[in-house]
Amino acid sequence: MLGRVFNKYLSLSYEVRVLLITTFASGVFDGLLYIGGLLQLYLKSAGYGGGDVGLFIFINGLVSSILVIPSGYLADVFGRRRVALISVMPLTISTILIAISPLKPFIVASAFLGGLGSALIHPSLSALMADKARDNLEVTYSAASFLLSLGTAIGGFMGWIPEILVGRGLTYFESYRVVVFLACIICLAT
């Protein structure tokens, strides 16, 4: 059975396979920073309390929720691929901002930019995948769901990295910062 699934995956076009790899990398990024809670721990180690951490998550989620519908329209007007590529910029800048300085204006700007990037990338990638995989939607979306879940799980599991770095002499703040920079690299790779 696994061989049959793998053969169906290999029958997908190159563009669809690249989109699936991008979906996986996006899952690793989200799992590492958001779902695994590493970003919250980083902000706590920088001296922020639960209210400030909650504010960051609230701003990020609110901006993403408000902008997700118009971003689908933008993807239709300006092109799905173009909007997907552009969306990486605010996501990367968001992650760089919070890694460079955990000052409150930077975390607020980071939350806003992260929400913007998230709102732009998800509708455009989903529509682009549907365009490129017209004949294999079932296989493509099944693979995308699986790879997103797997990436998210792997990203969450990578939460052990700061513990190893602390064992090597870094503080928790320094360790979390290293991993946030790692998330920047993952974001750029998508």
- With respect to residue 107, please indicate whether it lies within any of the assigned structural domains: yes
Determine the pLDDT at residue 175. Answer: 94
What tokens were used for 32? 């590492």
State the total domains in the chain: 1
94 within a domain of the structure (yes/no): yes
Work out the burial of residue 140: count CB atoms within 10 Å of its CB; fewer than 13 is exposed, 13-18 middle, 19 or more buried.
buried
pLDDT in tens, the chain (190 residues): 667 767 777 778 889 889 999 999 999 988 998 887 888 999 999 999 989 999 999 999 999 999 998 998 999 999 999 998 999 899 999 999 999 988 999 999 999 999 999 999 989 988 999 898 888 888 888 889 999 999 999 999 998 999 999 999 999 999 999 999 998 888 887 7
**Rounded Cα distance, 99 and 82, in Å:** 27
At 102 the pLDDT is 85
Residue 151 lies in a domain: yes
The per-residue pLDDT for 1 is 60
Residue 4 included in any domain: no
Per-residue model confidence as pLDDT tens digits over 56-76: 999 999 999 999 989 989 999
CATH number where 177 lies: 1.20.1250.20
For 53: left if phi > 0, alpha if psi spans -120 to 50, otherwise beta; the answer is alpha
**pLDDT at site 12:** 82
Q: Within a domain: residue 10?
A: no
182 within some domain: yes
Query: What integer pLDDT is reported at residue 34 of this predicted model?
Result: 83
**Is 7 contained in some domain?**
no
Q: Residue 138 domain-assigned? A: yes
148: domain range?
17-189
pLDDT recorded at residue 47: 92
Residues in Cβ contact with 8 at an 8 Å cutoff, skipping those fewer than 6 apart: 136, 139
